[in-house]
Chain A
Amino acid sequence: DAGVIQSPRHEVTEMGQEVTLRCKPISGHDYLFWYRQTMMRGLELLIYFNNNVPIDDSGMPEDRFSAKMPNASFSTLKIQPSEPRDSAVYFCASSLDRVNTEAFFGQGTRLTVV
């Protein structure tokens, strides 16, 4: 397996625009996580899914953020409208099941909102 695949690797957008980040988890993994990394807060969990169902979205900062997982092999994180303070590296990760907790991370998407 190629691991967790995220796209794009880099995204530069203007304030107010919609941004969509994409993730393909490792095949067979039941859990998918979206994290955001900032200098101030480190790795923050935004939302996670179990078997495509959102379980906990308490980390989503505002209503401007939304995430979907239409099937087991694809998830999106959308920001609409984007703001400069959303600039960060966004990581997607997946894990096999609850027992095998080790989460495998993608390479991340570096988002810059100008």
Chain B
Amino acid sequence: DQQVKQNSPSLSVQEGRISILNCDYTNSMFDYFLWYKKYPAEGPTFLISISSIKDKNEDGRFTVFLNKSAKHLSLHIVPSQPGDSAVYFCAARGGWEYGNKLVFGAGTILRVKS
């Protein structure tokens, strides 16, 4: 039972254009969402997060949007750069009764072509 789903295994984007990575979740108790980036042979690194009380959070070229009614969040990268090529994981955290564990999606491979 995958509670966090990234339905696109891969995405290819031209340098300078926008990259949009999507994530859906099923558990309405999730109260915090994060995006991680992973390069080959390295561990995932934190990229950006958003609380469930917000609908948007921006950090430089990266913006995360949250649509609670649709249980959907997305990561926008503008403009995309070749160095952004990596695997992107969406993660969600449950409420107090759910502990502090992060549930991850399967990841989306982003390729930015120069």
Which residue of B6, B34, B106 is within 8 Å of A102 (Cβ)? B34
Number of A-B contacts (CB under 8 A): 62
Beta-carbon contacts of A82-103 to B below 8 Å, as 1s and 0s?
Answer: 0000000001010100100111
- Name the residue in B34, B36, B49, B104 with the highest tally of chain A Cβ atoms < 10 Å from its Cβ: B104
Tell whether, in the assembled complex, residue A42 and residue B101 are in contact, meaning their CB atoms are under 8 Å apart: no
Tell whether, in the assembled complex, residue A101 and residue B93 are in contact, meaning their CB atoms are under 8 Å apart: yes
- Supposing A42-B89, A55-B99, A102-B34 touch, asked if A107 and B41 sit within 8 A by C-beta, the answer is yes
> Of residues 58 to 114 in B, which have CB atoms within 8 Å of A's CB atoms?
89, 91, 93, 99-107
Which residue of A35, A48, A50, A102 is within 8 Å of B104 (Cβ)? A35
Q: Hey, which chain A residues are within 8 Å of B43, CB to CB?
A: 4, 91, 93, 105-108
Report whether over half of chain A's contact residues are helix, strand or loop; otherwise say mixed.
strand
CB of A31 to closest CB in B, whole Å: 6
Interface set of B (CB-CB < 8 Å, partner A): 6, 32, 34, 36, 41-46, 49, 89, 91, 93, 99-107
Interface set of A (CB-CB < 8 Å, partner B): 4, 31, 33, 35, 40-45, 48, 50, 55-56, 91, 93, 95, 98, 101-108
Q: List 24 A-B contacts (CB under 8 A).
A: A4-B43, A31-B100, A33-B101, A35-B104, A41-B106, A42-B104, A42-B106, A42-B107, A43-B44, A43-B91, A43-B107, A45-B104, A48-B100, A48-B101, A55-B99, A91-B43, A95-B100, A101-B93, A101-B100, A102-B49, A105-B36, A105-B43, A107-B42, A108-B42
